[in-house]
Each structure stands twice: as C-alpha cells, then as structure tokens.
Amino acid sequence: MLMSVFMIIPKDDLSRRSFLKTAALASAAATGPLILNACRKSDSKRPRVGSGEHTYEVYHDWGMDSLPSGHSYGGASHGVAVDADGLVYVTHQGTPDSMFVFDPDGKFIKSLVSNHRVKGKDGKMGGKGHGIDIRREGNQEFAYLSPNDSSLSYSKTTLDGEVVWNKGREELDEASDKLGEKVNFRPTNASFRPDGGYYLGDGYGSNLIFEYDKNDRFVRAIGGKGKEVGQFSTPHGQWLDDRDGTPKLVVADRANKRLQWFGMDGKYLKKQDGFLFPADIDVQGDLMLVPDLHARVTILDKENKVVAHLGDDEAWRAKVLDKKTAMRTKRNLWEPGKFVHPHDACFDHDGNIFLAEWVVSGRVSKLVKVG
C-alpha cells in the first residue's frame, strides 16, 4: 500500500484512437484536412462552437492518428483528464488496455491499466475503462478509475499505472453492512473532498454515492434510486463545487436531467433542471462544464446561469437520438462541429476543453478557446 499525505489541487490546476486511422482519414477527406497533433490558436477552416468569450475551434479526432497499430478505442471512448504536466488521459473500451496517454500536442505516449479488461463474446480481452479523475496527494498525482463492468474493481493507480488499491465487491460489503442492505456495484466516476476524502458514484449500480475519508474508510452513502430531490437516477458523474467559497458536492443526475448539490455533511441543498442527459462535471475558476450525452456541452457561470450551449442544434440532436439511425455507430454521418454523445469533458490549463464521446471507434475532440 502506498502511503501519502493528501493535498487537494483544484481540477482546473491539473493541466487534465489500423481501422481507426482509416476512419479518421476518411472523415478528413470528407470535411477537409485534420490537424490532429497540433492546434493553432486561430484556424478559419475549423468549425467553431459557442459565441463571444466562449467561442471554441473544434479539432475532432485529436490524437487518433498517432495511435500505434493494435491500439483502438473499440466500442467507445469514455473519460478524459489532464495532469499537472498537461498530459491527457483517455479511458476506453478498446485494446490493448483501458487507457491511453497523450502529450499536450496529441502524440501517443503509452497504454495503461491492464487490470480493467474483460473477455468479450469473441473471446478476446478488451478494455472497460470508464470514469477517470486525477488528484495530487503530497508530491505525487494519482488516478481514480471507475471501470464499466460489475466484475471489476474501482482502482486508485499512479499515473504510470501501478495499482495502489482496488475496491470491489468485498469492500462494498462494508457499505452494505452499514446500510443494512445489499447494494449493487457498477461505479461510474469519482470526485474529491477538500479534507482528503473522496466520493465514488455508483451510477450504473445502486444509484448511491459512497463517501470515503482520507484513510479510505467508508463514511456514508448519499442518494438512492428515485426522482425526489436527494435521490438519483444514474448519478453518472460528480465534482467538488467551491466557486462561491463553500465546498459542495455537485452531481450529474443523468436520467433525472438535472444537477443536484449536497453539503459536505451529505445533506441535500438544491437542484437545477434544464439539462438533457448530463454525464459529468468539471470546474475551472467561475465556470462549470457539463458534457451532455444528448449532443451538447453546457457552460455555467458562478451563479449557475448558462453562458454557452456548445453544439446545441435541435435538428442534429433529433438525428442523433433516432434509434433507427444509430448515429454512434455511423462515423460517415458525423458532421464537423457537431457532437454525438459527449460523455466526459475537462478544461486544460489554458481554458481549452477536451471532450470524449460515447461513440463506436471513439472520438476525442479538442475545443481550442478563441473567444
């Protein structure tokens, strides 16, 4: 067990895919040349989203052309985070492992996390990477990883992939005992407390958020299945919201189409409706970033007023949500500057946005701030 002294650095301070290449080149032929490994600050040929100070140039398939042979996002790209050095970490359902690491210019560095793989129907091992969040503890950064499979453990690893600990069924029995009931377990994302503790969102399992202290001991469970305030229907992602000086847990209550806030004591505080299918959350300065699985990304200000709906297009969304179209599997139908299923997003040091989408073959886009 690695020991460390906890010190929180806000997420905004953590400077946080042969078939794929062919598909990317085909897409480039249809939409114009792609600059995947570098992003100029202003490129008039690039599609733009947003307006005013929240205007971004969109670089789809960022980093994909640098993936080595045998490396793919498979069924989906899922999570994205940036570390203090600007390295970009993307979790996925492909091969050979469950996470890729890129440098800030989109050059592939390494593949990590072999323990988050399962055998598919074809008999081959494939990644089940899902949620990822990075935190500095003492003088080292760690990744908290939530795989998309009930048979796998929630893990804490170094940024080189060394496992510090795993939390699986045995560990969750502790929560079951204290709750007086057996809970499901299929976590989706983690987030961090200012006192060194952390939260594990069991979004695809029990619809509970489990709180742990800085010594990895279970404290309490928040929420549970339901539509009432304080309850969840797929608490898919969450983060620490301290933009007003008071730390709060904010939860992307996805299927209830809302955000909910809770105090550090676990008590419900408030909710905000108006979302479509919010998947996760990131905070930088006064801004809150909410990728929405229904084809848009929302930015809120300090008062939680919407300052931008990036990629918001009703006609496009209707196509995306048409089950007969199966847009997430039809790369040839994707349009420049349009999003399909935003699953996770985070800011980098410069206020740019990295966006991972739940689409077959995977897609990571870099949204370069120009406003």
Residue 3 inside a domain? The answer is no
CA nearest 369: which of 14, 107, 90, 59?
A: 59
Instruction: Report the alpha-carbon distance of residue 371 to residue 55 in Å, rounded.
Output: 5
Instruction: Report the alpha-carbon distance of residue 206 to residue 190 in Å, rounded.
Output: 15
In degrees rounded to 5, what are phi and psi of residue 176? -60, -45
Residue 343 inside a domain? The answer is yes
pLDDT in tens, the chain (371 residues): 444 433 444 444 444 433 333 344 343 333 333 334 445 455 568 999 999 999 999 999 999 999 999 999 999 999 999 999 999 999 999 999 999 999 999 999 999 999 999 998 888 899 999 999 999 999 999 999 999 998 899 999 999 999 999 988 676 666 666 666 667 788 999 999 999 999 999 999 889 999 999 999 989 999 999 999 999 999 999 999 999 999 999 999 999 999 999 999 999 999 999 999 999 999 999 999 999 999 999 999 999 999 999 999 999 999 999 999 999 999 999 999 999 999 999 999 999 999 999 999 999 999 999 98
Residue 96 inside a domain? The answer is yes
Range of the domain at 267: 11-16+28-369
Residue 118 inside a domain? The answer is yes
Instruction: Report the alpha-carbon distance of residue 36 to residue 22 in Å, rounded.
Output: 14
**Which amino acid would we find at residue 21?**
K
Residue 110 inside a domain? The answer is yes
Residue 1 inside a domain? The answer is no
In this prediction, residue 369 carries a pLDDT of 97
- Beta-carbon count within 10 A of 350 CB: 11
In this prediction, residue 68 carries a pLDDT of 98
Contact 58, 337 (CB under 8 A): yes
Collapse the DSSP code of 114 into the 3-class scheme (helix H, G, I; strand E, B; otherwise coil) and give the result. coil
In this prediction, residue 299 carries a pLDDT of 98
In this prediction, residue 120 carries a pLDDT of 86
Helix (H) or strand (E) holding 317: helix 314-321
Residue with the two structure tokens 């410069």? 350
Give the length of the chain: 371
Q: How many domains does the chain have?
A: 1
Residue 257 tokens read as 């189409």
Contact 138, 130 (CB under 8 A): no
Instruction: Report the alpha-carbon distance of residue 327 to residue 153 in Å, rounded.
Output: 31
In this prediction, residue 49 carries a pLDDT of 98
Collapse the DSSP code of 327 into the 3-class scheme (helix H, G, I; strand E, B; otherwise coil) and give the result. helix
In this prediction, residue 276 carries a pLDDT of 98
Collapse the DSSP code of 23 into the 3-class scheme (helix H, G, I; strand E, B; otherwise coil) and give the result. helix
In this prediction, residue 39 carries a pLDDT of 54
Order the strands of the 258-262 sheet from edge to edge: 235-241, 248-253, 258-262, 268-272
**Which amino acid would we find at residue 164?**
V
Collapse the DSSP code of 328 into the 3-class scheme (helix H, G, I; strand E, B; otherwise coil) and give the result. helix
Output the domain CATH number for residue 132.
2.120.10.30
CA nearest 92: which of 109, 114, 74?
A: 74
In this prediction, residue 183 carries a pLDDT of 72
In degrees rounded to 5, what are phi and psi of residue 318? -60, -40
In this prediction, residue 185 carries a pLDDT of 83
In this prediction, residue 59 carries a pLDDT of 98
In this prediction, residue 33 carries a pLDDT of 36
Residue 5 inside a domain? The answer is no
Residue 2 inside a domain? The answer is no
In this prediction, residue 177 carries a pLDDT of 63
**Which amino acid would we find at residue 142?**
F
